[in-house]
């Protein structure tokens, strides 16, 4: 049995991959750290696989360095036994605008490619890694990347090739910031700057609908009357469909009534996301040869987060009522139900709990877990949000390495916390030290 760690694939989150227009020579950035070209990134209403402004060919460029380079480099260092025996850590780029099912198929092919490439490394070959029982990968996903990984495994596309999984701040049951992005053009999951162009682009971005909140108790409907799901078109305010109608009039082909087409398009995006969420909810780890011990699910807490969304009646329809008091942080409250009203600034704790893992296995971390020397990251988390900066946390790098190498805690330098109300904590790293809860 080889002692080498399995090669690792990192899957970034929403907006975590740059977009480039390959039609232009040289290629031009459409979406990057410095570029936000909403018009050229917006998809076509008649075919959401392509852009509204043609001719073009917008494709994934590279994984954002600012958010993820440190994590990838630390995993390469921490997993490798020596410089001459490197453990490969690959970044998987994908088009976050598209439905996740497309990226899941691409990830399946990428896993097979990484395995074949690793077989060509002499130290892996000498260790006998290439035989059928050893040839596996570890998967790490941040935010939407964790949801993508779950969908890939649920489809059983090469699930026998996966050894272990680590997910960070993944919205398995969604987040209400996605609603804010669609309706107002700003959210903690996005750029943070409201604009009509951003709002229009968001409303024709299928990938964003995968993050709609569906957890119990989060959606509060006026008088308890009306639709109870964000995947139901009836709950959405009419301005969303009006925007889609105007967009179709400007960019769509002449194929019938724009108003009817807008409703059809919106319904399609909602139903596609709802179907995917149902798939994730029914993921059976045992059926694919995994268990809770193979999955490190890290959840961010102790940051003010939109923990609920109110829906009020407006005439014959409904409207979203974004109230300041619905962004809250009750971490540390003596009542477990109240203490769970927290999150990482973007994803609430209740939205980060996957239905396919026991609550007892979750590992909670807080902004205070940034080390003494991580002053810049701590300050950046206060500005950009804990959700976005969590992958830079040094302690989490060590936590993932311990999980993937079965090394367990070393020198008491990793820790975590159980979810509120959990008495028999069973994290996938045996003996994991408990951090402070307040």
What confidence tens digit (pLDDT) does each residue in 44-57 have?
999 999 999 999 99
Query: 3-state SS string over the chain?
Result: CCCCCCCEEEECCCCCEEEEECCCCCCEEEECCCCECHHHHCEECCEEEEECCCCCCEEEEEECHHHHHHHHHHHHHHHCCECCECCCEEECCCCCCCCHHHHHHHHHHHHHHHHHHHHCCHHHHHCCCCCCCCCCEEEEEECHHHHHHHHHHHCCCCHHHEEEEEEECCCCCCECHHHHHHHHCCCCCCCCCCCHHHHHHHHCCHHHHCCECCCCCCEEEHHHCCCCCCCCHHHCCHHHHHHHHHHHHHHCCCCCCHHHHHHHHHHHHHHHHHHHHHHHHCCCCHHHCCCHHHEEEEEECCECEECCEEEEEECCEEEEECCHHHEECCCCCCCHHHHCCCEECCCEHHHHCCCCCCHHHCEEECHHHCCCCCHHHHHHHHHHCHHHHHHHCHHHHHHHHHHHHCCCCCCCCCEEECCCCCCCCCCCCCCCEECCCC
- Predicted confidence (pLDDT) at residue 86 exceeds the cutoff of 80: yes
**Predicted pLDDT at 189:** 47
Domain regions of the chain by residue span: 8-176+280-301+333-434
Burial of 47 (0-12, 13-18, 19+ CB in 10 A): exposed
Per-residue pLDDT band at 371 (split at 50, 70, 90) = confident
**Predicted pLDDT at 375:** 60
- Predicted confidence (pLDDT) at residue 377 exceeds the cutoff of 80: no
Q: Of 136, 148, 198, 175, which is closest to residue 385 (Cα–Cα)?
A: 175
- Predicted confidence (pLDDT) at residue 66 exceeds the cutoff of 90: no
Q: Are strands 28-31 and 317-321 parallel, antiparallel or unpaired?
A: unpaired
**Predicted pLDDT at 133:** 76
Q: Encode burial over 386-425: b for 16+ CB neighbours within 10 A, e otherwise.
A: bbbbbbbbbbbbbbbbbbbbeeebeeeebbbbbbbebeeb
**Predicted pLDDT at 212:** 97
Chain-wide mean pLDDT for the chain? 91
Per-residue pLDDT band at 80 (split at 50, 70, 90) = very high
Contact 202, 208 (CB under 8 A): yes
Distance between CA atoms of 284 and 135, rounded to whole angstroms?
Answer: 22
At residue 344, φ and ψ (nearest 5 deg) are -110, 15
Which tokens belong to 331?
């971490």
- Predicted confidence (pLDDT) at residue 393 exceeds the cutoff of 50: yes
167 or 384: whose pLDDT is higher?
A: 167
Which tokens belong to 429?
């790293």
Distance between CA atoms of 350 and 338, rounded to whole angstroms?
Answer: 11
**Predicted pLDDT at 223:** 74
**Predicted pLDDT at 190:** 47
**Predicted pLDDT at 316:** 81
Q: Are strands 162-168 and 295-300 parallel, antiparallel or unpaired?
A: parallel
**Predicted pLDDT at 408:** 58
Q: What is the pTM of this model?
A: 0.95
Per-residue pLDDT band at 1 (split at 50, 70, 90) = very low
Burial of 295 (0-12, 13-18, 19+ CB in 10 A): buried
Residues sharing a CB contact under 8 Å with residue 75, sequence separation 6 or more, in sequence order: 8, 10, 89, 140, 397, 400, 401
**Predicted pLDDT at 429:** 94
The answer regarding whether domain 8-176+280-301+333-434 maps to CATH 3.40.50.1820 reads yes
What confidence tens digit (pLDDT) does each residue in 234-280 have?
999 998 999 999 999 999 998 899 999 999 999 999 999 999 999 99
- Predicted confidence (pLDDT) at residue 303 exceeds the cutoff of 60: yes
- Predicted confidence (pLDDT) at residue 193 exceeds the cutoff of 90: no
What confidence tens digit (pLDDT) does each residue in 278-295 have?
999 999 999 999 999 999
- Predicted confidence (pLDDT) at residue 3 exceeds the cutoff of 90: no
What confidence tens digit (pLDDT) does each residue in 95-116 have?
999 999 999 999 999 999 999 9
**Predicted pLDDT at 130:** 85
**C-alpha distances out from residue 282 to 277, 286, 289, 350, Å:** 9, 12, 15, 17
The predicted model gives 59-67 an average pLDDT of 93
Q: Are strands 28-31 and 17-21 parallel, antiparallel or unpaired?
A: antiparallel
* Percent of the chain residues topping a pLDDT of 90: 79
What confidence tens digit (pLDDT) does each residue in 399-418 have?
999 999 986 556 578 999 99
- Predicted confidence (pLDDT) at residue 196 exceeds the cutoff of 90: no
**Predicted pLDDT at 5:** 94
- Predicted confidence (pLDDT) at residue 192 exceeds the cutoff of 50: no
The predicted model gives 16-22 an average pLDDT of 96
């Amino acid at each position: 049995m080889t002692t080498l760690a399995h090669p690792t694939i990192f899957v970034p989150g929403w907006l975590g991959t740059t977009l480039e227009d390959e039609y232009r020579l040289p290629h031009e950035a459409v979406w990057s750290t410095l570029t936000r070209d909403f018009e050229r990134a917006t998809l076509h209403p008649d075919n959401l696989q392509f852009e509204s402004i043609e001719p073009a060919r917008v494709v994934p460029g590279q994984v954002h360095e600012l958010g993820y380079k440190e994590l990838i480099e630390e995993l390469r260092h921490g997993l490798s036994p020596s410089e001459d025996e490197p453990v490969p850590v690959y970044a998987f780029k994908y088009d976050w605008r598209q439905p996740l099912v497309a990226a899941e198929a691409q990830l399946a092919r990428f896993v097979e490619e990484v395995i074949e490439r690793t077989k060509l490394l002499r130290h892996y070959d000498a260790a006998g890694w290439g035989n059928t029982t050893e040839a596996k990968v570890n998967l790490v996903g941040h935010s939407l990347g964790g949801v993508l990984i779950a969908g890939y495994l649920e489809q059983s596309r090469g699930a026998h090739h996966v050894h272990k999984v680590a997910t960070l701040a993944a919205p398995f049951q969604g987040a209400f910031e996605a609603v804010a992005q669609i309706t107002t053009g700003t959210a903690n999951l996005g750029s943070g700057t409201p604009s009509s162009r951003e709002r229009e682009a968001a409303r024709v971005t299928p990938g964003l609908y995968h993050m709609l909140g569906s957890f119990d108790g989060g959606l509060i409907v006026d008088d308890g009357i009306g639709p109870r799901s964000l995947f139901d078109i009836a709950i959405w305010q009419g301005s969303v469909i009006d925007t889609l109608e105007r967009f179709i009039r400007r960019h769509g082909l002449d194929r019938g009534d724009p108003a009817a087409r807008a409703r059809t398009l919106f319904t399609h995006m909602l139903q596609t996301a709802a179907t995917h969420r149902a798939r994730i909810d029914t993921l059976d780890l045992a059926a694919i040869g995994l268990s809770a011990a193979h999955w490190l699910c890290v959840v961010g807490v102790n940051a003010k987060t939109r923990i609920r969304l109110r829906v009020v009646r407006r005439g014959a329809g409904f409207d979203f009522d974004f109230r300041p008091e619905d962004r809250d942080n009750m971490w540390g409250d003596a009542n477990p139900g109240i203490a769970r009203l927290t999150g990482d600034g973007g994803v609430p704790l209740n939205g980060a709990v996957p239905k396919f893992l026991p609550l007892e296995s979750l590992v909670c971390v807080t902004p205070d877990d940034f080390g003494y020397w991580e002053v810049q990251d701590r300050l950046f988390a206060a500005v950009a949000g804990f959700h976005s900066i969590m992958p830079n946390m040094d302690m989490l790098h060590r936590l993932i390495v311990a999980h993937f190498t079965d090394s367990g805690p070393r020198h008491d330098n990793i820790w975590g916390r159980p979810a509120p109300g959990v008495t028999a904590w069973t994290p996938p790293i045996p003996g994991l030290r408990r951090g402070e809860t307040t």
